[in-house]
Chains A and B, each alone.
Chain A
Amino acid sequence: MNKSFLDYFLKIRVPVILFVALASLTLTYYVSRAERDGVGYAPEQPIPYSHKLHAGTMGIDCQYCHTGASVSRHAMVPPVNTCMNCHTVARKNKPNIIRLTQYYNEGKLMPWKRVHKVPDYAYFNHSVHVNKGIDCQTCHGDIQNMEVVQQTNSWTMNNCIDCHRTAPVKLANIKGIKKGPENCFACHR
């Protein structure tokens, strides 16, 4: 049987092309997954606020600033007046604190860059998680060691559900913790 060009094309060329295309797609998909999910995202903030200094070194409780975390769906990024509780006195002469004070005095709003985001059709609730005794770090990573806040976990539904299913194992340090709800209305409504 004569080997025609068509034979070669169908038997070798096409499968190789398909394989290379599929392989590169698959590879790109998985390699870029974390980046696409936002892992490692650490935008520059209008004031280079350091969680490492405030939460780590000085050990200020997270909820001193994020007051909503235990009473509301939203943890709340603190208003400028929370900063001024200390900074009317502390480090008044540092350039960034001078800028901060300016914001406060002029009543200007602070446009913090959003680091963590769940889609708006998911109604994540901080209060129920915090009040169950789950640490902020479980989702937000070692925030007390971050000079610049960055996202460390992928925040996909997959990840939410994974933790909800394995909570008794994953969060074994919390006594009596049960599995989280897995039904749609738990997050979507």
Chain B
Amino acid sequence: MEPSNTNHESRYWKSLREYHNDPASADAKAHEFAKGVTDEFDVNTLSPMSRKQFLGALAASAAFAAAGCNSYRDKGEIVPYNKKPEEITLGVANHYASTCTGCAEACGILVKTREGRPIKVDGNPDHPVNKGSVCAQGQASILNLYDPERLKDPMLVSSGILTKTTWKVADTKLIAAFTAAANQKKEIALITHSLTSPSLTKLLGEFAAKYPGAKHYAYELFDGGARQSAWTKSTGGTALPVIAWEKANVVLAVESDFLGYDGNLPEQTRLFASRRDVMKGKNFNRLYSADATMNSTAMNADHRLRVRPDRQLAFVLSLLNEVRPSAQTSAYSLSAFVKENGLDDAVVKQLVNDLKANAGAAIVHAGDTMPEAVHIAVNLLNAALGNDALYRRDQAKHGYAPLIDAEQWSALVARMNAGQVAAVVHVDTNPVYHLAPDLGYADALKKVDTVVTLAELQNETTAVSSFVLPLNHTLEGWGDHQTRTGVLSLQQPVIAPLYNTRQKEAALLIWTAGNPDGYNETLYHDYVMARWEKEVYPAQKAKAGFKAFWLSALHDGVIATNDAAPALPAAKMDVVSTLKNTAVNGTVLALTKNYFVGDGRYANNGWLQEMPHPASKIAWDNYAALSPATAKSLGASEGSMVSVTAGSRSLALPVHVQPGLADDFVAVQLGYGRNVSGSVGENVGFNASVLLSKSDTTAPYTVGGVTLTLTGETYLLASTQEHHALDDTFLKDIHKKRGIIQEGTLAQYAEDPAFLEKEHSDLTIVPRVTYDGVKWGMAIDLNKCTGCGVCTLSCNAENNIPVVGKEQLHKGREMTWIRIDRYFSGEPDAPTVSNQPMLCQHCDNAPCENVCPVVATTHSPDGLNQMAYNRCVGTKYCSNNCPFKVRRFNFFDFRDDFAGGVQYEEPLPLMHNPEVTVRSRGVMEKCTFCVQRIMEGRQHAIEKGEEFTGAGVTVACQEACPAEAIVFGNVNDTTSKIHQYRKHSIGYRVLEEINVGPNVTYIAKLRNTDPV
């Protein structure tokens, strides 16, 4: 059958070099490893030892070994517990429900522990917001717990010299300082991030009651409070609404990365993807993205409009004018806007029609980096369309403290400079790094007598503090958190503090009590429990006693409270007259969120640093992203250093030419360029906070009128983009021919569900193996996959994947077992993106198996492509012969090789999953379909005396996927989900025609583009 799919005609390309047929790109693809990386061999760097000396040393060491062999039968010791805790069985994991405190979303987590050591963090399936998944940071947070560079003891700093001290000494001094401040009626500034904890809020109140000068300031780098203030201005309400994404037929993202890190990623991704489920019918939602930054949401959009952030207000208002024309919006004409910005008229018309046709079931969403005016306009547009029907009435967002804005920061700094502030306490915050330099915060701190920083790792703020107090990790502390009305979740420790650390709340309790001797490990536990007994329990009207109620809440990790959601007032349409056009001339700079290191707090987390950006596939760096046209007019190419100047602020950083970016626009991610961190995160990327300014109070993330000048230098950006290319050199449309990416439109599918099916020859010269028992298979629904990368992080934690570092990553030696391949098609200005998670396909006729000279990789009777590490001698033949390029070779013992061997330092090895071998130098590895979980499932079946059918076995990537895009199971079990997916009419297998028999079924992506 001739493919009727128009997309099949498009040409797929992974980079601009490839698009322009750059011979270097073709050459790079022909070689699995970049040139020279397999023979880095400089005679001068070799050992000066001669052959004779070497043989002599060899003989001597052999003789010593032989002499030392007298106790060769000794096998060491087995040291059992003295008194074994009841709940521990060696080899059996325990799971504890808790709450993640990595950001203001406070998702419910389920922590897997082995022999008392937490080894994996997943979402708490009972948590109503994030259900069973967490974001990439949540998955990787386990690495922070075991970070060898954590602060281990309290420190006193005087004139730059750190001295180790005890908590008692520090607390005594601080209590005296706070008391003195209170007596002198001076301010004590407590600086936190967003408050999510009711108990901590109460405690801050008590602290302020004890020390009357105490004031609390909450801030976030990526939230200037614009969404909140916009909501209040447009409706008069205080509580922000929660959107019922699953009910939206049409979604318009206004520079919103709601599939990335604008809001709650696991929840939003799950609800959005639930409307793209081919198993549930053809009623897909349609996603429009109006953005400049080519973010994760834009990559998944059915239609994309390139709109610069400064023009978003005009765009939204002209849509509003189209939907509900009024005198106040008449200045904004949609047709004029379309013309001025070179938008596709047909797409905009369809957008307007869709919004009107789906009034009440469409949603417009503005991103966190948008200014207040855009948020107001979006609220009004939603109201005009009746889309506020999609605001959930049973639940609203719940905060405990308003965030402060730039004006309040300036006022605080002024008081600090005037000597009115006696003490500043940074409660797990790093404002010296986050704040605009022209605010002068770091200098103002010098005027404050007592600067206290509570932190897990050293940072820019600890460097200028007089007291540095080490904090517990999330998994070592107690707490309670609420981000939605009606949902209260508990945080419990799953391991005793590894070092002499305390949780921030316990430190505050000691100061509030004014008793430096009062510390014990259950201090805050008792506080939270007492508050729950007095304030939470009575309202629950539970039949059980408090103790039983508390234990059950701890077990579940979350309770539903009876708090009624606040009413959502209607929007006041006349607010529109207050909105002023934000458009500016010249080049616009957008400071954006990054995907993995957050506001910089995950800088020392190697797993997160090594995750490539979803669009650029660049890891270990941030960069100035420019559109191809802008780069061309500037004369810049990939990696040329460009100086971005905004007013008096300037930063030089490397250029990345990003297909799909808006023109006359530069996007830079914040959160990089930490200069005080650990050995992993120090000086990775460039600190773009220096481009922030205190004067841009409403939209600190969009800066107009910036100038770009090339410095003439170049810089190496390490990207995974062209690695593991699946295609052949000179056949540019090989993806189409090979069908690696197969996709179509929803309309085609509706017309003929089998529109992608092709004839396949089963001709083979090798005998077919039949699998009559359990046979494992996976399906990945590309309609649901957003390319967020959570699967990769989950796999890293489950399978003990090391960090390799920028240098090795650049050589194509990243070790992740599952990667997200990203293909562009169409024109570089406005490309269409296809994401595809790629992992070992466990082929029935695996080409890797035939070529292994030592039979280290073979096939199991349940269809797994096995890898026996202790048999592998590292010929790399298998990797060479793998058509999917999913095998990973340990060129080094990366744990030893990277950052001075930090991954071997205690206590980091405690993080490893004891069910998976830690691979060393010289062996090949790859996805095992989480064989350790399969074997565990088999063990449980045998324990129960049942036949093992494979039901209930979940692999790590599947468990973590927020979109529920990954299905795994026994394909021979006709009742299983995987069986249904495998026979789906738009399911395909990559490179099926070469007869390797892959066992990962991809459900073709259907784009919902055609007019209904």
A residues within 8 Å of B by Cβ?
35, 38, 41, 43, 67-68, 70-74, 76-82, 103-104, 107-117, 119-121, 123, 125, 127-128, 131-132, 181, 183-186, 188-189
Q: Which residue of B lies closest to A128 (CB)?
A: B942
Q: Is the CB of A117 within 8 A of B80?
A: no
- With the chains together, A128 CA to B942 CA distance in Å? 6
- With the chains together, A108 CA to B83 CA distance in Å? 10
Q: Is the CB of B82 within 8 A of A72?
A: no
Q: Is the CB of A107 within 8 A of B935?
A: no
Chain B residues closer than 8 Å to A74, beta-carbon distance: 90-91
Q: Is the CB of B942 within 8 A of A72?
A: no
B residues within 8 Å of A by Cβ?
73-84, 89-92, 858-862, 864, 866-871, 915-917, 928, 931-932, 934-935, 938-939, 942-943, 945
Pick from A121, A125, A185: contact of B939, CB under 8 Å? A125
Chain A residues closer than 8 Å to B73, beta-carbon distance: 35, 38, 41, 43
- With the chains together, A55 CA to B113 CA distance in Å? 33
- With the chains together, A113 CA to B833 CA distance in Å? 60
Q: Which residue of B lies closest to A38 (CB)?
A: B73
Q: Which residue of A lies closest to B861 (CB)?
A: A183
Q: Is the CB of B942 within 8 A of A131?
A: yes
Pick from B82, B89, B862, B866: contact of A80, CB under 8 Å? B82
**Contact A68/B90 with A113-B77, A121-B869, A189-B917 known, Cβ cut-off 8 Å:** yes
- With the chains together, A111 CA to B916 CA distance in Å? 26
- With the chains together, A116 CA to B859 CA distance in Å? 30
**Contact A185/B931 with A72-B91, A127-B943 known, Cβ cut-off 8 Å:** yes
Q: Is the CB of A181 within 8 A of B82?
A: no
Q: Is the CB of B945 within 8 A of A131?
A: yes
Q: Is the CB of A128 within 8 A of B84?
A: no
- The dominant DSSP class at the A interface is loop
Q: How far is the CB of A137 from chain B (nearest CB, A)?
A: 20
Pick from A38, A103, A128, A183: contact of B866, CB under 8 Å? A183
Q: Is the CB of A185 within 8 A of B80?
A: no
Q: How far is the CB of A147 from chain B (nearest CB, A)?
A: 19
Q: Is the CB of A114 within 8 A of B77?
A: yes
Q: Which residue of A lies closest to B857 (CB)?
A: A184
Q: Is the CB of B868 within 8 A of A188?
A: yes
- With the chains together, A82 CA to B86 CA distance in Å? 11
For this complex, 24 residue pairs linking A to B, each with C-beta atoms less than 8 Å apart, are A77-B80, A79-B80, A80-B81, A104-B83, A109-B81, A111-B79, A113-B77, A115-B75, A119-B870, A121-B869, A123-B915, A127-B939, A131-B942, A131-B943, A132-B942, A181-B861, A183-B862, A184-B867, A185-B928, A188-B869, A188-B870, A189-B915, A189-B928, A189-B931
Pick from B859, B935, B945: contact of A125, CB under 8 Å? B935
Q: Is the CB of B860 within 8 A of A183?
A: yes
Chain B residues closer than 8 Å to A115, beta-carbon distance: 75
Q: How far is the CB of A178 from chain B (nearest CB, A)?
A: 11
Q: Which residue of B lies closest to A70 (CB)?
A: B943
Q: Which residue of A lies closest to B928 (CB)?
A: A189
- With the chains together, A132 CA to B948 CA distance in Å? 13
Q: How far is the CB of B799 from chain A (nearest CB, A)?
A: 10
- With the chains together, A123 CA to B84 CA distance in Å? 23
7 A-B pairs besides A35-B73, A186-B935, A188-B917 with CB distance below 8 A are A43-B73, A74-B90, A110-B82, A114-B75, A184-B858, A185-B928, A188-B869
Most A Cβ at <10 Å: residue of B80, B916, B934, B938: B80
- With the chains together, A77 CA to B861 CA distance in Å? 34
Q: Which residue of A lies closest to B73 (CB)?
A: A41
- With the chains together, A168 CA to B870 CA distance in Å? 29
Chain B residues closer than 8 Å to A113, beta-carbon distance: 74-78
- With the chains together, A78 CA to B84 CA distance in Å? 9
Chain A residues closer than 8 Å to B915, beta-carbon distance: 123, 189
Chain B residues closer than 8 Å to A185, beta-carbon distance: 860, 864, 866, 928, 931, 934-935
Q: Is the CB of B939 within 8 A of A81?
A: no
Q: How far is the CB of A104 from chain B (nearest CB, A)?
A: 7
Q: How far is the CB of A158 from chain B (nearest CB, A)?
A: 15
Q: Which residue of B lies closest to A103 (CB)?
A: B82
Chain A residues closer than 8 Å to B75, beta-carbon distance: 38, 41, 113-117
Chain A residues closer than 8 Å to B89, beta-carbon distance: 67-68, 71-72, 76
Chain A residues closer than 8 Å to B864, beta-carbon distance: 183, 185
Q: Is the CB of A112 within 8 A of B77?
A: yes
**Contact A76/B80 with A125-B935, A185-B864, A189-B915 known, Cβ cut-off 8 Å:** yes
Pick from A70, A112, A121: contact of B78, CB under 8 Å? A112
- With the chains together, A71 CA to B943 CA distance in Å? 7
Chain A residues closer than 8 Å to B932, beta-carbon distance: 123, 189
- With the chains together, A111 CA to B76 CA distance in Å? 9
**Contact A79/B943 with A68-B90, A184-B866, A189-B935 known, Cβ cut-off 8 Å:** no
Q: Which residue of A lies closest to B84 (CB)?
A: A79
Q: Is the CB of B942 within 8 A of A127?
A: yes
Chain B residues closer than 8 Å to A120, beta-carbon distance: 917
Q: Is the CB of A73 within 8 A of B860?
A: no
Q: Which residue of B lies closest to A111 (CB)?
A: B77
Chain B residues closer than 8 Å to A79, beta-carbon distance: 80-84
Q: Is the CB of B931 within 8 A of A107?
A: no
Chain B residues closer than 8 Å to A81, beta-carbon distance: 81-84
Q: Is the CB of A77 within 8 A of B78?
A: yes
- With the chains together, A80 CA to B83 CA distance in Å? 6
Q: Is the CB of A114 within 8 A of B76?
A: yes
Chain A residues closer than 8 Å to B866, beta-carbon distance: 183-185, 188
Chain A residues closer than 8 Å to B77, beta-carbon distance: 111-114
Q: How far is the CB of B320 from chain A (nearest CB, A)?
A: 58
Most B Cβ at <10 Å: residue of A68, A104, A111, A183: A183
- With the chains together, A180 CA to B778 CA distance in Å? 26
Chain A residues closer than 8 Å to B79, beta-carbon distance: 109-112
Most B Cβ at <10 Å: residue of A67, A104, A119, A189: A189
- With the chains together, A82 CA to B81 CA distance in Å? 10
Q: Is the CB of A73 within 8 A of B76?
A: no
Q: Is the CB of A184 within 8 A of B942?
A: no
Q: How far is the CB of B801 from chain A (nearest CB, A)?
A: 14
Q: Is the CB of B82 within 8 A of A109?
A: yes
Chain B residues closer than 8 Å to A107, beta-carbon distance: 82-83
Q: Which residue of B lies closest to A122 (CB)?
A: B870
Chain B residues closer than 8 Å to A132, beta-carbon distance: 942
Chain B residues closer than 8 Å to A70, beta-carbon distance: 943
Chain B residues closer than 8 Å to A80, beta-carbon distance: 80-83
- With the chains together, A113 CA to B77 CA distance in Å? 4
Q: Which residue of B lies closest to A183 (CB)?
A: B860
Q: Is the CB of B931 within 8 A of A71?
A: no
Q: Which residue of B lies closest to A37 (CB)?
A: B73
Q: How far is the CB of B634 from chain A (nearest CB, A)?
A: 51
**Contact A104/B917 with A68-B89, A189-B928 known, Cβ cut-off 8 Å:** no
Chain B residues closer than 8 Å to A131, beta-carbon distance: 942-943, 945
Q: How far is the CB of A139 from chain B (nearest CB, A)?
A: 16
- With the chains together, A105 CA to B189 CA distance in Å? 49
Q: How far is the CB of B116 from chain A (nearest CB, A)?
A: 14
Chain A residues closer than 8 Å to B861, beta-carbon distance: 181, 183
Chain A residues closer than 8 Å to B934, beta-carbon distance: 185
Q: Is the CB of A114 within 8 A of B78?
A: yes
- With the chains together, A127 CA to B868 CA distance in Å? 23
Chain B residues closer than 8 Å to A76, beta-carbon distance: 80, 89-90
Q: Which residue of A lies closest to B79 (CB)?
A: A109
Q: How far is the CB of B946 from chain A (nearest CB, A)?
A: 11
Q: How far is the CB of A148 from chain B (nearest CB, A)?
A: 14
Chain A residues closer than 8 Å to B859, beta-carbon distance: 183
